[in-house]
Amino acid sequence: MDTDDLSFILNHLGEDREAGFRAVVPPVVQSGNFTYPTVEALRNAMRNEFDVPLYTRGANPTVAMVRKKLAALEHAADALLFGSGSAAIAAGVLSFVKAGDHIVCVRKPYSWTTKLLNELLDRFGVSHTFVDGTDAENFRRAITPCTRLFILESPNSITFELQDLQAVSAIAREHGILTLCDNSYSSPLFQNPIDLGIDLVAHSGTKYLNGHSDVVCGVLAGSREHIRQVMAKEFMTLGAIPSPHDAWLLMRGLRTLEIRMHRSADSAEQVAKFLEAHPKVVQVNWPFLDSFPQQALARRQMKRCAGLMSIRVKAADVAGVERFCNALKRFLMAVSWGGYESLLFPTAATMDPRNPQGELPWDLVRIYVGLEEPQLLIADLEQALARV
Ligand SMILES: *Cc1c(COP(=O)(O)O)cnc(C)c1O
């Protein structure tokens, strides 16, 4: 994306200052409903519920500003805002399948995407197959006559396997199958799946887009027809919307998206290289490292690699991993990522320490590099690794 375009989108696109008292910062239109002076005007508003404010579950002026920015960032014609990333993914999936249909989904997607397929869609007669997405041909092999949708997440947010988005979307097109890609890891700044042939792009806006760890929200972007279809059906019916105030906070967060993303990517590179050279670290998963198995693909389809990585700690047992985690002072222990603050999340937290078994290794620790001074983060990791 052109830098001019980017700074215009983040700072000005969609903002109508004449309609907001010429305030520099657009006001929050914290109103559930909107009034019209005549029956005819009300009738027209009801006919155009997707475009004009009638009731905030449909259109709201503050939300509308942010929708324009997000669509432009993802090179999409339109975008919808949701009350969470999971709501955006669920609405995007539910809108395009019916009983009897089949979905092919990349293995190990975000945990609630797995639950959507295993627990919710299964009950309504929509079947699915999980595939190893590191080989695009696995998607082709899993296609049945009932396959309607491919769900992708590239990279995923714990071990960071990628899918070749161009190759997978080409296979989908050959078979008339729709594609939805969770792009939360890269944000629209570092990867634009629509340019690679993907139909629908989902984001947890909770992560980089808002960037301040104070809002949970989600985004779904795509063509006008697809977004209109989602809006007319699942968006309005399920009603998983953000409040206008949360949309306004998201717009505030977007002002600094470019600066935050580059800071996080610069620092992450330093931290990843430090960790890779450390004797107490067995493995570093970060897609732009030379040692990452899909590094070439990562560099081809992502502009830069952002602040989320995971490591395997060289510990004799879970207690060693826990000593490392408990000793870190500048990384907060928490789920989520993409905010200003550096975080850590050990898979050991999801396991019984006496019986540490699961899909993910017990010695895996996810590290999110936020906006703090990278040398201080590295020094903190150094002292904590000495405790392993
Ligand atoms: C957090 C996350 C989600 C879910 O988003 P919420 O806003 O928490 O509902 C989806 N995908 C990825 C990759 C995530 O990290």
Residue 151 pLDDT exceeds 60: yes
The mean pLDDT of the chain is 96
The pLDDT value recorded for residue 283 is: 97
Beta bridge partners of 81: 219
Same structural domain for residues 230 and 262? no
Cα(192) to ligand 1 centroid in Å equals 17
Cα 204 from Cα 335, distance rounded (Å):
13
Cα 70 from Cα 9, distance rounded (Å):
9
The pLDDT value recorded for residue 365 is: 98
- Look at residue 251 and give its three-state secondary structure: helix
Same structural domain for residues 141 and 172? yes
The pLDDT value recorded for residue 230 is: 97
Same structural domain for residues 36 and 161? yes
Same structural domain for residues 233 and 297? no
Same structural domain for residues 274 and 219? no
- Grade residue 357 by pLDDT with cuts at 50, 70 and 90: confident
Instruction: List the CATH number of the domain containing 65.
Output: 3.40.640.10
- Grade residue 2 by pLDDT with cuts at 50, 70 and 90: low
Domain count, the chain: 2
Identify the CA nearest to 362 among candidates 352, 373, 375, 374: 352
Pocket of ligand 1 (CB under 6 A): 84-86, 110, 153, 157, 182, 184, 204, 206-207, 216, 218
Cα 297 from Cα 293, distance rounded (Å):
9
Burial track 101-134 (b if 16+ CB lie within 10 A, e otherwise): bbbbbbbbbbebbeebbeeebeeeebbbbbbebe
Same structural domain for residues 244 and 261? no
217 Cα nearest atom in ligand 1: 7
- Grade residue 358 by pLDDT with cuts at 50, 70 and 90: confident
Same structural domain for residues 241 and 279? no
Q: Which amino acid is at 237?
A: T
Same structural domain for residues 167 and 290? no
205 Cα nearest atom in ligand 1: 7
- Tell me the per-residue pLDDT of 156-174, one tens digit each, with 9 for 90 and over: 999 999 999 999 999 999 9
- Tell me the per-residue pLDDT of 276-329, one tens digit each, with 9 for 90 and over: 999 999 999 999 999 999 999 999 999 999 999 999 999 999 999 999 999 999
- Grade residue 355 by pLDDT with cuts at 50, 70 and 90: confident
Cα(204) to ligand 1 centroid in Å equals 4
Pocket test for ligand 1, best of 113, 190, 206 (most atoms within 8 A of CB): 206
Instruction: For residues 345-369, give the mean pLDDT.
Output: 89
The pLDDT value recorded for residue 161 is: 97
Cα 76 from Cα 188, distance rounded (Å):
11
Cα 294 from Cα 206, distance rounded (Å):
27
Domain that holds residue 372: 257-385
Instruction: List the CATH number of the domain containing 355.
Output: 3.90.1150.10
Cα 348 from Cα 345, distance rounded (Å):
9
More confident residue, 348 or 174: 174
Same structural domain for residues 26 and 56? yes
206 Cα nearest atom in ligand 1: 7
Q: Please identify, among 230, 254, 278, the residue that sits at the C-terminal boundary of a domain.
A: 254
Pocket test for ligand 1, best of 84, 207, 208, 249 (most atoms within 8 A of CB): 207
- Grade residue 58 by pLDDT with cuts at 50, 70 and 90: very high
Place of tokens 């942010």: 66
87 Cα nearest atom in ligand 1: 9
The pLDDT value recorded for residue 226 is: 98
Q: Please identify, among 254, 288, 310, the residue that sits at the C-terminal boundary of a domain.
A: 254
Q: What are 278's two structure tokens?
A: 């450390």
Cα(86) to ligand 1 centroid in Å equals 6
Cα(185) to ligand 1 centroid in Å equals 9
Residue 133 pLDDT exceeds 60: yes
Same structural domain for residues 21 and 119? yes
Same structural domain for residues 206 and 343? no
Same structural domain for residues 222 and 200? yes
Cα 93 from Cα 116, distance rounded (Å):
9
